[in-house]
Amino acid sequence: MTRTNPESGKFVPPSIAELTVRLLARTDTADALAAVAISEVEPHEVAVALRTEPRQSWQEGLAVLKTFVVSAPMDISQPVEWASLIVRRGLSHSLPFALCNFPQQVRDLNPLLQTKDLSKLQSAETEAAAASIGLRNWANQHIRKGTFPQALIGCALLRAAGDYDAAAAALSGLRGCTPAEWQAALTNEEAALLWERGERQQAAQLWAGLPENSAVLLNRGMAALFMNKPAQARENLRKAVANLKDSEPWHHLASLYLALAEMQG
């Protein structure tokens, strides 16, 4: 839960250890991380052994859907290869709120705390390998059918696998046949792909043009934070934190980014 100073009314950022425990809550290492917070040992030393539960990460990777379309289905089955994909994805620092992304990817806080220039941190550490045949087949099947949101999830899976060219081609192919209610979600996926490819300015411009919702606000704030624009980051991240339920891992990630923005002054 976010806190305010009763005298000044200003945001009081939780400790980094506290945010780490919140972010990784409901995983099978939560108790170990709680011990880390109490003993003030650096969180990354425990997080190395973190095992992300596939079903939970899949659901958190779909959470963005309802920020764009309230009636979006959430009972979409994960592909068989999802469990192996989340292992290959590795760590992330500047993580967009987008399909097939999950907050537990941000679990090594040392670089975030020790790097003076956050813009120098790369977006993700996905292994540079094309999507597996099974994963590509799952993605392409839904992209060809043009059913939503499954087609967008297919594009996101290609991005998550590090197959950026295939993801870009798939998103471009969907641009002319995407229903109106899914257009903003498509743009968010285009921006996420640009961001993870290192084309940060273009991604930020796309997010700036989207109507506000919790995902867009988080992404605008995250982009500003890692482009060394702390004032803009704070403005958007405060709104994102206020709009996300404090029981949600994405709320905890937004709070972490807000704390970092506050630390930048």
> pLDDT tens for residues 155-176?
999 999 989 999 999 999 999 9
Return the residue matching tokens 């292992």. Answer: 87
pLDDT averaged over every residue in the chain:
83
Predicted local distance difference test score (pLDDT) of residue 51: 59
22-41: pLDDT as tens digits: 554 444 333 333 333 333 33
223-234 pLDDT, tens per residue? 999 999 999 999
* Number of domains within the chain: 1
pLDDT band for 87, please (50, 70, 90 cuts). Answer: confident
Q: pLDDT above 70 covers what percent of the chain?
A: 77
Q: 21 pLDDT exceeds 80?
A: no
Q: How confident is the model at residue 108 (pLDDT cuts 50, 70, 90)?
A: confident
Dump pLDDT digits (tens) for 207-218.
999 999 999 999
CA–CA separation, 168 and 145 (whole Å) = 17
How far, in Å, are 57, 66, 122 from residue 126 at the CA level? 16, 26, 11
- Structure confidence at residue 82 (pLDDT): 93
- Which letter, b or e, does each residue of 169-197 get, where b requires 16 or more Cβ atoms within 10 Å of its Cβ? ebbeebeeebeeebebbbbbbbbbbbbbb
Nearest to 215 by CA among 152, 171, 167, 158: 152
Asked if pLDDT for residue 125 goes beyond 50, the answer is yes
- Position 16 scores a pLDDT of 55
| CA–CA gap between residue 147 and residue 138 (Å, rounded) | 13
CA atoms within 13 A on the CB side of 87: 5
pTM equals 0.82
Of 199, 137, 138, 189, give the one whose Cα is nearest residue 167: 189
List the single range of 13-17, 132-136, 249-253 with lowest mean pLDDT.
13-17
Which residue range is the domain that position 69 belongs to? Answer: 3-263
Per DSSP, helices labelled H in the chain are: 16-23, 30-39, 44-47, 54-62, 65-68, 82-89, 110-114, 133-145, 150-160, 164-174, 183-196, 200-208, 214-225, 230-243, 249-263
Q: How many residues does the chain have?
A: 265
Identify the residue with better confidence: 121 or 63: 63
Q: Are 100 and 157 in contact (CB under 8 A)?
A: yes
